[in-house]
Amino acid sequence: MKPIHFILGTALFFSGATVFADYRVEQEIGKGLLGEINQIAIGVDDTLCVLEDNGKVTIFNSDGSLASTLDTGMKNTDAIATTPDGRIHIFSTLTKTKKVKVGARMRTVHIPIGVDYATFDASGKKLKTIKLKNLKSAKAARIVGDKLVVADLTARTLVIMDAETGEETGRIKKGLRLCCGIFDFCEGPNQTIAVSNLGAFKLQQFDLEGNLLLEFGKRGRGIDDFQGCCNPVSAAYLPDHRIVTVEKDPTRIKIYDANGKNAQQIKGVEELVKGCEFIPISVDQKGNIYLANTKGHVVKCVLQ
Digit-coded pLDDT (tens) for 41-94 = 999 999 999 999 999 999 999 999 999 999 999 999 999 999 999 999 999 999
What pLDDT does 294 receive?
Answer: 79
3-state helix, strand, coil in the chain (%, to 5): 5, 50, 45
Q: Which sign does the torsion angle of CA 35, 53, 245, 237 carry?
A: negative
Return the SS3 of 199: helix
Q: Which CATH class, in words, describes the domain spanning 18-303? A: mainly beta
What pLDDT does 16 receive?
Answer: 54
- Sheet containing 243-247: which strands, arranged edge to edge? 234-237, 243-247, 252-256, 264-265
Distance (Å, whole) CA 200 – CA 23: 28
Q: For the chain, first and last CA: distance in Å?
A: 42
Helices (H), the chain: 2-15
Q: Which residues of the chain have pLDDT under 70?
A: 1-17
Number of CB atoms found within 10 A of residue 221's CB: 8
275-299 in b/e burial notation, b at 16+ Cβ within 10 A?
ebbbbbbbbbeebbbbbbbbebbbb
What pLDDT does 108 receive?
Answer: 87
- Tens of pLDDT, residue by residue over 257-283, are 999 999 999 999 999 999 999 999 999
What DSSP character marks residue 63?
T
Amino acid, res. 145 = G
- Sheet containing 105-120: which strands, arranged edge to edge? 77-82, 88-102, 105-120, 126-132
* Residue ranges covered by each domain of the chain: 18-303
83-103 in b/e burial notation, b at 16+ Cβ within 10 A?
eeeebbbbbbbbbeeeeeeee
163-187 in b/e burial notation, b at 16+ Cβ within 10 A?
beebebeeebeeebebebebbbbbb
Query: In 3D, which of 242, 210, 207, 243 has the Cα closest to residue 226?
Result: 243
